[in-house]
Amino acid sequence: MINPLLQKWQTPFETPPFHIIETIHFKPAIEGAINLATKEIKAIAENSDVPSFDNTVAALDRAGETLGKITSVLFNLNSADTNKGLQEAAQKVSPLLTRFSNDITLNTKLFDRVFKIFENKENSGLTIEQKILVERKYRNFLLGGAGLKDDEKKRFREISEELSTLSLKFEENVLEETNSWVLNINDKSELEGLPESLVELASIEAERREKPGWVFTLNSPSYIPFMQYSERRDLRERMLRAYSSRAFRGNESDNRDYVLKIANLRLEIAKMLGFKNFAEMVLGDRMAETPDKVAKFLEDLFSASKHAALSNFDNIRSFAKEYGFTGEIERWDWAFYSEKLKKKLYDIDDEVLKPYFPLEKVEAAVFNLATTLYGIRFSINNSIPVYHPEVKCFEVHDKDGSFLAILYIDYHPRPGKGGGAWMTSYRDQRKENGIEVRPIISIVANFTRPTETRPSLLSFNEVTTFLHEFGHSLHGMLTKCTYESLSGTSVARDFVELPSQFMENFAFEKKWLDTWATHYATGEKLSDEIISKIKEAAVFNEGYACYRQLSFAFLDMAWHTITKQVDGDISDFESEAMSKTQLFPPVEGLNISASFAHIFSGGYAAAYYGYKWSEVLDADAFSYFTETGIFNQETANSFRKNILEKGGTEKPQDLYNRFRGKKPSLEAFLKRGGLK
């Protein structure tokens, strides 16, 4: 059988040939690619020449190119357009990939060569980028068990292979739980308060599932507006309980055992490598550096936001009473009364704004913003194969016409797609024998679908999400590095959110909205009054929002600073970890950890604090843009040259300070959020 994954890809820009790839191709292709990569690694380890940067570290960075190309397709598809076959393929190859990774880091000859280069890196005439790569490879070997004794290496292999399959299973369970639960309404009176656009989407969903009436799901475009607008408190409760108990229902998709196993195995590996806990192990190459620094950062933000959070909560509680509600405010009441109060205070809500944000216009506006700031241009290319008919594909060129990247965008929810939104890559940028290999980037989202009567109209939150993921994509597309493992978003986890969160700021700027935001049906321009209200409403309930983010960060750090095995009830553990940020009474049967994919199946273990850390950076960075002009070419060029193009080739502190001319300050973050 000819396996297209192992052939040279005869597609434009050597993009993945999705049109001829089948599920059965993955396992044999990955096995073949592992064999090829194993030979490459063996040649490096057994090289008789004196170890040098080029013949060892740079060679390691190049090794396994075919394998990386194939696995990126498999795991990206498994997140964006999966099925049982793909999930089985991913489960089967994950142990093989972990075994191969262990074969590298546990190879004594290879480690000896890397260690000699690391030891002499200051006296070898290496560039800053090369020194960073040496340091990263050396650290990867240490964290990969290179310094362990033989009996420990055996256990290290067992744990790492088990973790790879546990994380995949965790993600599969969350997806299954999200897709399998629906609220099927047959009585029209139960739709009270819901906007017409949501009702129409629910009707389409019911038809798709061959059910009567209206179907509401746990996907964001359905769940969020339902919680905001439904007058039926009992139905809001049902929705929230379903959403907040995903993978925590005692069925075959229950994740509570996986949570314990993953946390405990991570601790075992950390202790094996000489660390107190997993957080200490992974924070060594982050901006925050240590668990103590993260704890102080989170405590400082907790103190700064406490007054505002309590005030926000009291405001909603008081407003609910004015609205006629009697009783205690519960979790399923928050979004509903928040939306009502926001409407009263600012005369604005998502339903007022959505008509001004049709997806096609938002897409064009975001692209034009990148053109204004950085001169880059986007052109659709329908000849490039895509993995689903809904996926759009663009060529991206620089202002001088040179090719920069391929960008896929996949906008709408469907059963095989994970929840939320993310940016990923199919190929990372690098230089090969002095020739640029440009990246292939993808944005995956779950935005509101069009209906028979309306185009896809985005909520304001979806607009900021688009900007966020597009910021990540700019980081991936504009990068200009030499080595693949340092390019694009391959930066410290608490630095990676800076480009994405920075872009969100434009959603609140009149100068940008004025250039494109018009009503999809009437052509009416988004008025100055509404734009002013958007800006004013930006700080609405910001204290509570900060508290909520902090609660997730506290929970993440709690799971990853354990110093002994945890074997109790994960709800008890969670309640204690999040206790000081909890404003609502506890509800039996709800759990965040069981569906907290960011930390148990994503890359944010002991790193969720990074969202708030980067928010401080992005507020400080954007304050510089507002001082000089939000479209100022000199400022934008500095951000591109010092942040977006540099990847992980220098320490993030140095890159940021060079762009800003000073260290970041908490001042802009507190001011923007109304927390001062």
Q: Is residue 661 part of a domain?
A: yes
Q: Using an 8 Å Cβ cutoff, are 153 and 145 in contact?
A: yes
Task: Looking at the structure, tell me whether residues 196 and 121 fall in a common domain.
Answer: no
pLDDT at 666: 87
**pLDDT tens-digit profile of 340-363?**
999 999 999 888 999 999 999 999
> For residue 275, is pLDDT > 90?
yes
Considering the domain boundaries, does residue 37 fall inside one?
Answer: yes
Q: Has residue 335 been placed in a domain?
A: no
Q: Name the pairing type of β-strands 435-437 and 440-444.
A: unpaired
Q: Is residue 346 part of a domain?
A: no
Residue 249 placed within a domain:
no
Tell me how far apart the alpha carbons of residues 78 and 72 are, in angstroms, rounded to a whole number: 10
Cα R_g (the chain), whole angstroms: 25
Domain boundary, last residue among 243, 258, 284: 243
Is there a single domain that holds both residue 362 and residue 239? no
Same structural domain, 533 and 483:
yes
pLDDT of residue 676 exceeding 80: no
Answer yes or no: do 385 and 515 share one domain. yes
**Domain holding 430: CATH number?**
1.10.1370.40
Q: How far apart are CA 355 and CA 76, in angstroms?
A: 32
Do 191 and 113 lie in one domain? The reply is no
Whether 265 is covered by a domain: the verdict is no
DSSP state string for 650-676 = S-HHHHHHHHHSS---SHHHHHHTT--
* Claim to verify: residue 227 and residue 117 sit in the same structural domain: no
Confidence of residue 1 (pLDDT cuts 50, 70, 90): confident
Look up the CATH number of the domain holding residue 19: 1.20.1050.40
| pLDDT, position 441 | 98
User: Is residue 211 in some structural domain?
Assistant: yes
Residues 138, 209, single domain; the answer is no
Instruction: List the structure tokens of 382.
Output: 């329908």
Q: Please say if the pLDDT value at position 214 is more than 90.
A: yes
| 268 has catalytic annotation | no
Residue 26 and residue 122 in one domain: yes
- The residue segments making up the domain with residue 120 are 4-147
- On whether both 384 and 506 belong to a single domain, the answer is yes
Of 243, 258, 287, which marks where a domain is finished? Answer: 243
Q: How many domains does the chain have?
A: 3
Q: In this predicted model, what pLDDT tens digit does every residue of 545-590 receive, in sequence order?
A: 999 999 999 999 999 999 999 999 999 999 999 999 999 999 999 9
Clarify whether residues 121 and 229 are in a common domain. Answer: no
The pLDDT of 521-534, averaged and rounded, is: 95
Work out the pLDDT band at 675, boundaries 50, 70, 90: confident
- Candidates 138, 72, 55; CA nearest to 104 is 138
Same domain, residue pair 77 and 216 = no
Last residue of a domain, one of 216, 243, 270: 243
Inter-residue contact 666 to 546 (CB < 8 Å): no
pLDDT tier for residue 46 given thresholds of 50, 70 and 90: very high
Which member of 462, 469, 504, 509 is catalytic? 469
Structure tokens at 85: 């076959």
Tokens of 633: 């070419």
Q: For residue 671, what are the contacts with CB-CB under 8 A and spacing of at least 6? A: 619
Q: Is it the case that residue 433 has pLDDT exceeding 90? A: no
Average pLDDT value for residue range 33-54: 97
Specify whether 80 is located in the same domain as 203.
Answer: no
Task: Confirm whether pTM is higher than 0.85.
Answer: yes
- Establish if 319 belongs to a structural domain: no
pLDDT of residue 194: 97
